[in-house]
Structure 1
């Protein structure tokens, strides 16, 4: 029989069937145990009560640890399933790239049974059933070529119909399998894989990053070069659309190497054909790549500046081409390439005169402003090309953004003029030496300039009044609503 002893407390009791009597015995409560003999001194009553409370708290903590703590197996299973719960489509946040990659590896290594478990755990999202997900994932991972093609078509349908299923499909590892299908010799399989990847990349930077990690940026340039035949134009356009979607990663911190992608893009832009969907898609991809300053040297060395300057003259492509030039001109290598291109002043002159393309006008003035900044030589070239009167016209009649940029550029030209005039101040020949004919010509030219400026000022005032009236009308309509 166990014996528990404390100072001046002796408890002798059979081993209790329940831990409660033992708890009371250890806590030093003599009235709860039959047969216990207690002899407490009144002087030590307060100390004994404090000791009982401390022993009771200690024993309660011990009981909780023994009877109510989860088992190690349950804790482990909870940790193992944590990554799955964080990737459910019901969550608003996208899964992390590392977690998606780990789940994809788990699917491919675990076999078909693991696919079934993961699909059952995730279930369907919206109208997409778990059966369709399970069948498509199985066929992509473990099926033959025909089964993979059918699965790619099913993945395209699922991703197009349900946006939440895109994250689920990526977590189940379908992206590396689809990217590997781009190496197939069958054009139909390649197109199905490209179409499925386009739908999976729609609106998901995580899926685009997974595609880049799987090597899609190394496979697409080869496919684009192989499909430039007019009979395969549609397949080439689909590859370019996928490349455009993945290239938007350049706007994030994800590293996107432009070296492999640039040659086919610049070759298509340099072709003498008219502006079509192929060129516009290539321009969009080149613009995305130019947003990362580290790609500027590769873009310029590939000969893209000349192609962009030529496309800036086309109204359909001018906005994208000028926006790309605007990204390149802020770099030293891009600015140098534009300074050496003789077509740049004439192209900017033509684009700035487009009143029906205000966005292109703003971008052209921006490129001119950056070129003229801190470069007296470039300002001299611009003045010789006749852009200063056009800048004055834009400063009076352009959009608010174009006006601000044009006025800043004109300020630099004004400073150059004042400097040059100050250097020429010297004893001049007498005015009587000038012929009468020269005086008449100078007066007539100055009158024409003043008339032109008055016309532009009146037109600017009229446009400003129309703009103010239009804004007031819109505000009245909104307030009435």
Structure 2
């Protein structure tokens, strides 16, 4: 403020000086007058003075903003330190209230998340998850969820603090809100699957399996399915996932439209390995459940994933192709090849080509039992040739007699339509290729 007043005084004195200079200029003889007009110089000086005043005021405002910002940062840091102190040394009621405050602070600002974890609150929040009091446990879970959001370092700190050992042992006895929060936290932590953390070897999988088996909340199951999908992207986790019995659960959930897409995505990751492929092949739900998914016209993504899994299973496996053919996959593939998405159409056409090639190989030209060629004129060859001719003559005679009997029966049954219908059915070929 003092700088502003001094600048104003300087402007007034400048005006007085230029006013006196102008009077002197008029008192001088015309020859000695300067060509320049002092009024113009006065205007220029006033403009410069005003710009200087504006610069001073802007600098002052910027300084005030910086001071205010630094004051706010200092205030927030002081409040955070107070929260941390309560979380470490306060009563259980204070800890619960502090965990809720940390949740709200971490939700608003990324810098606050970093500062909070640097102050060492993660171990205390993890210990709250093991509390038998539901409200205290939920407060710790919600705070950890916000701290883990978008921060790899914070997730690693939560895992290192032993979060998997603090989860409820009997998740079925926990309330629905606690199960949902646990599943959301596990989904966030499962993104560490590609790091050095071996999540599959911990208590991670039994917890997910139990929720997928027993929980009826769709959001909770979706979170656990997302976590299992993240785990399945790592080759080392496929064995533990299969050993934990996840595959039958995923196949059951894939038949439910609300959870089908994520379940199929996980199965798609597992089927790419030999262990996962065998586990899927041995399921009693295969291949009927995947064939049924191919008929979901309102779920094109599920059709694409199902056709991919079927392709992997059918590739170089005649037994699996036979099972699929017996389950009625061919007409479904024909329909999908016409009406499905472009990717599903390509996969369906590829499967149809495999079935067509296999059928043609089975129905290729065949002229009876193939025996090794023997020298012409040998006694054995002559005897076999005579025996073959005798058998062929006998078969031809039997066929002629049978055809004559059928013709005679048809002629005699011209007045009985029911009998004629039975004859047509009995003589129709059931071994036609198409």
> Does TM, scored on the shorter chain, surpass 0.5?
yes
Q: Which has the larger radius of gyration?
A: 2
Q: Quote the Cα distance in structure 1 between the aligned partners of 2:312 and 2:235.
A: 16
Contact 1:311 1:318 (8 Å CA) reproduced: yes
Corresponding residue for residue 42 of structure 2: none
In the alignment, which residue of structure 1 is the partner of 2:211? Answer: 268
Using the TM superposition, give the Cα deviation of residue 189 of structure 1 relative to its aligned residue in structure 2, in angstroms: 1.9
- Return the match for 2:173 from 205, 219, 229: 229
CA contact under 8 A between 2:225 and 2:263: conserved in structure 1?
A: yes
2:67 pairs with 1:159? no
Distance change (3 Å), C-alpha of 1:227 and 1:255: closer
1:347 lines up with 2:293 in the alignment: no
- Does the Cα contact within 8 Å between 1:125 and 1:164 map onto a contact in 2? no
Alignment counterpart, residue 136 of structure 1, candidates 60, 83, 103: 83
2:353 to 406, 411, 427: 411
Residue matched to 2:342: 400
Match of residue 367, structure 2, among 426, 438, 445: 426
Other-structure match for 1:250: 193
The aligned residue for residue 474 of structure 1 is none
Residue of 184, 203, 226 corresponding to 1:241: 184
Distance change in 2, residues 1:128/1:417 (3 Å): farther
Indicate which of 203, 207, 215 corresponds to 2:162. Answer: 215
Residue in 1 that maps onto 2:12: none
TM-fit CA distance, 1:127: 11
User: In the TM superposition, what are the counterparts of 1:430-445 in structure 2 within 5 Å?
Assistant: 437=424
**Distance in 2, Cα, partners of 1:126 & 1:438:** 91
Deviations 1:76-97 (A, max 9, x none): xxxxxxxxxxxxxxxxxxxxxx
What whole-Å deviation, never above 9, does each CA across 1:221-273 have from its counterpart, x for those lacking one? xx1x434237x1112211121112111211445432344122232233233x7
Any conservation in 1 of the 2:222–2:259 contact (CA below 8 Å)?
yes
Report the Cα offset of residue 274 of structure 1.
4.8
* Separation of aligned partners in 2, 1:321 and 1:336: 17
Cα RMSD, aligned residues only: 3.1
| Partner residue, 1:181 | 128
Q: Distance in 1 between matches of 2:113 and 2:180?
A: 23
User: Once structures 1 and 2 are overlaid, which stretch shifts more, 144-153 or 207-216?
Assistant: 144-153
C-alpha offsets along residues 409-459 of structure 1, whole Å, 9 cap, x if unaligned?
Answer: 22322332232223x52269999988894799679x99xx8xxxxxxxxxx
2:239 alignment counterpart: 297
Q: Cα deviation per residue 1:363-388 (whole Å; 9 max; x = unaligned)?
A: 11011011111211111111111112
| Equivalent residue number for residue 389 of structure 1 | 331
For residues 124 and 414 of structure 1, the distance between their equivalents in structure 2, rounded to whole angstroms, comes to: 77
Alpha-carbon separation, structure 2, partners of 1:209 and 1:354: 40
Q: Is the 8 A contact 1:258 1:298 kept in 2?
A: yes
Structure 1 residues 387-424: Cα deviation after superposition (integer angstroms, max 9, x where no partner): 122112212211112122222222322332232223x5
Separation of aligned partners in 2, 1:193 and 1:124: 30
Residue deviations 1:204-228, cap 9 Å, x none? 12211111111112222xx1x4342
| Counterpart contact for 2:200–2:240, Cα < 8 Å | no
SS of the counterpart of 2:199?
coil
| 1:441–1:258 Cα change, 3 Å | farther
Q: Matches of 1:127 and 1:407 in 2, distance apart?
A: 66
1:181-213 CA-to-partner distances (Å, cap 9, x unmatched) read 223343322211111000111111221111111
Contact 1:124–1:133 (8 Å) recurs in 2 = no
- Structure 1 unaligned spans of 5+: 1-121, 450-481
CA distance in 2, matches of 1:212, 1:188: 22
Which residue of the other structure, out of 293, 304, 320, is the alignment partner of 1:362?
A: 304
**Residue 148 of structure 1 corresponds to which residue in structure 2?**
95
- Counterpart-to-counterpart distance in 2, 1:124 and 1:334: 58
Aligned with 1:403: secondary structure? helix
Give the unaligned 5+ runs of structure 2.
1-68, 369-391, 407-422
